[in-house]
Structure 1
Amino acid sequence: MAGNKAVVYSKPGSVEIRDTDYPELVLKDGPGVNPLNVGRKCEHGVILKVVTTNICGSDQHMVRGRTTAPSGLILGHEITGEVIEVGRDVEFIKKGDLVSVPFNIACGRCRSCRERNTNVCLNVNPDRPGSAYGYVDMGGWVGGQSEYVMVPYADFQLLKFPDKEKAMEKILDLTMLSDIFPTGYHGAVSAGVRPGSTVYVAGAGPVGLAAAHSAQLLGAAVVIVGDLNAERLAQAKSFGCETVNLRENADLAGQIDQILGSPEVDSAIDCVGFEAHGHGKAHGETPATVLNSIMEVTRAGGSLGIPGLYVTGDPGAVDEDSKIGTLKIRFGLGWAKSHTFVTGQTPVMKYNRDLMMAILSGKAQIAKAVNATLISLAEAPQAYQEFDRGVSRKFVIDPHGLVK
């Protein structure tokens, strides 16, 4: 039987490359696996040889020790791979297919899936609606920052690339379809971005950059990206965004006014989440900062897309309320301005096919926007450290050296 190396969370601040079990079409017991999911048979699934798998900011929350993730958890929910084994009940996906895997695991059978809300599938996580690979409290499905991975419900979930050779030519773009491109796009759609819109994106990490590029694809007139990190803001500026440096100038509304001639935008997108920091040179962690600031700068009747991650358990939070996800949000301000809020995991399958076509046709340049950077599996621990320091790169792991 073949081996399987994987990126494993060991302790706060540390990941390791370990030899792990080669996947089978069954969910076995292991770190983070819900007892009610142990032994779950997956003849509707496939085994993938991982072609690319990306490091995500959501992974960093676990690695920093800001969740209840257990030691030994195999990481990775952004997966693109080649099908090498097909379960008995798989009808349409074939060996040799090159596919993108939506990060949300979905059965295709429940009410949520039938209504295209695959982000809150009712059948894959005994704890709550919704699941993902290699993520805390998501049912225990094994992550894909590895050489091989098992993917359930293959016929329903997998997005097959129509031409394998052409797909490999654009694999650094197509690898973003598993999460950050649909997530950024969902943030922009949820915020009501349309031709001629003015848009504020909070956060210039990979999801924020994906949201900014998505807003451009949707026809926004002006996209403004805010962050505390000058390197990441430079990356946003590189593809035509306006930027505001909130470390140098804490007055967000004033900076927007200088750009637009008005202190408000039509739409805003939170791509930061629960580890948000206050603005200014002496900033500290204040989890509600972004949510309150985007309500302040979004016009009355506007919409707020919130793809940034918020959790119900944060052992490293700054106060007791924040440890259970209770934040001091100025909800009265949002109510008074008749804001629409859209939160939660992105239903990747709503968007990934259209975004694939945008990539293949040359309309979308997502790898350039997020500064995709190819690394080997062995380089993943160092990449996690660099990403945590705020480097403006989207690290793409190539476990088998298949990407030219």
Structure 2
Amino acid sequence: MKAVVYDGPRTVSVKEVPDARIERPTDALVRITTTNICGSDLHMYDGRTDLQPGMVLGHENMGEVIEVGDGVDLVKVGDMVCLPFNVSCGACANCNQGLTAYCLVANPAPGMAGAAYGYADMGPYAGGQAELLRVPWADFNCLVLPPDARDMSRQKDYVMLSDIFPTGWHATELACVRPGDSVAVYGAGPVGLLAAYSAIIKGANKVMVVDRHPDRLRLAEQIGAIPIDDSKGSPVEQILEQTGGMGADRGCEAVGHQAHDPSGQEKSALTLNNLVHSVRFGGTIGVVGVFIPKDPGSPDPLQKQGKAPFDYGMFWFKGQSMGTGQCNVKNYNRQLMNLIANHKADPSFLVSHELKLDQAPEGYRNFDVRADGWTKVVLHPDGGR
């Protein structure tokens, strides 16, 4: 089968690799019809992880089930399914508590919890930027989609259930967003935009989105958020001005450890500290941007060790609370699917490019450099049939 393979820093290629296949009775084999390039893929693409060359990438996947193992009871051949990026067993202590991002079984590495498709340190599972994908524990991990998921125009919405729509929603859950709240979102990449979109769906009275890329800020404004351009002045001051000097009720971080200031200097704790100063006394913050235990490629000696100079004194003084971590996709994907199916949510508004699998290297290059207009890249391994 054809697949997108990591060759080394800033180099991916489309190669012939061994076909994915059923390996255990509880597996399903999915013909991938739509898969995305995720912002977190870029951490690996940039060489900021210890991913080994040869890994098939891709953790935002959907497609058609073409084969199931003898132990699969619920998922059927012919079903259109979306796969959470979390690979989880569904039966361990963490999965039983809904903590599927921290499955105790799926990742065989000592001392690790949680697994994902095609991702560094997240288990041995090949990714879905490929023609075929093996799905372990298929009855648990496959979200069977409504009949309209066969329509390619609808797949742009449903594929977002694999990661970024639930992750954006998770940011608002961690931040405890409620109707009537004001919300500050740092980062207008796909996850930040969908965090803002989720806050709007939840009834926030004002949502402010901080970024400096005009195309992304335009999308924020398009969905009803207030764009905050941090290249034109302090985002903290702009948010305080929007909130009568009090700060936002809630804050969402959707940038992560590779945050840059407007001059291009990398500052790993920039968005965390800006949120402390942007959110009111007693407010809450949700962090879904990627922070990792070690980052040898960082220019910051602290970040090399996975540490950050956090403004904890002000955080404590303001009595704020913070929730962090990867999204447990299964907690949200069914209810968000229902919003999409009933046209209450259309997360595909952020899709800028649909490419064939062979065009993936072009998609990675342009998405990585934040080329104007490249806000979300969708790949169709089957050519968009």
The two structures share one fold, judged by TM-score above 0.5: yes
Give ranges in structure 2 of 5+ residues lacking alignment.
none
Report the counterpart of residue 299 of structure 1 in structure 2: 280
Which residue does the alignment assign to 2:3? 6
8 Å CA contact retained: 1:172, 1:372: no
For residues 163-191 of structure 1, give each alpha carbon's deviation from its aligned partner in whole angstroms, at most 9, with x where no partner exists: 25666551110010000000000001111
AA aligned opposite 1:356 = M
Q: Counterparts in 2 of 1:82-97, with a 5 A limit? A: 82-97=64-79
Structure 1 runs, 4 residues or longer, greater than 4 Å off: 164-169
Counterpart position of 2:360: 380
1:271 aligns with 2:268: no
Deviation digits for residues 4-61 of structure 1, max 9, x if unmatched?
10011111111100100101223xxxxxxxxxxxxxxx22011100010100000001
Name the CA distance, whole Å, in 2 between partners of 1:189 and 1:165.
Answer: 27
Q: 1:261 aligned to 2:258?
A: no
* 1:261-305 Cα deviation digits (max 9, x unpaired): 225000000000010112x4x340010001111011111221111
% identical aligned pairs: 41
Residue correspondence of structure 1 range 156-195 to structure 2 within 5 A: 156-164=140-148, 168-195=152-179
Structure 1: how far apart are the matches of 2:270 and 2:127? 31
TM-score by length of 2: 0.96
Distance 2:117 2:149 in 1: 27
Deviation at 1:312, TM superposition (A): 1.4
- 1:326 aligns with 307
Judge conservation of contact 1:79–1:101 (CA < 8 Å) in 2: yes
TM-score by length of 1: 0.92
Q: Distance in 2 between matches of 1:138 and 1:119?
A: 10
Q: Partner residue of 1:364?
A: 345
Confirm or deny: 8 A CA contact 2:240 2:248 kept in the other structure. Answer: no
Deviates more, 1:240-249 or 1:209-218: 240-249
1:23 aligns with 20
Q: Is the CA contact 1:98–1:164 (under 8 Å) kept in the aligned structure 2?
A: no
Letter in 2 for 1:217: I
2:268 aligned residue? 287
Aligned residues: 381
- Separation of aligned partners in 2, 1:372 and 1:148: 24
- 1:214 is matched with 198
- Other-structure match for 2:84: 102
* Rounded Cα–Cα distance in structure 1 between residues aligned with 2:165 and 2:148: 20
Q: Is the Cα–Cα contact under 8 Å of residues 215 and 223 in structure 1 kept in the other structure? A: yes
Cα pair distance change 1:167/1:190, threshold 3 Å: farther
Separation in 2 of the partners of 1:379 and 1:260?
44
Q: How far apart, in 1, do the equivalents of 2:68 and 2:150 lie?
A: 23
State the Cα distance separating 1:380 from its structure 2 match: 0.8
Contact 1:97 1:164 in 2 (8 A): no
Q: Quick one: distance in 2 between partners of 1:319 and 1:382?
A: 30
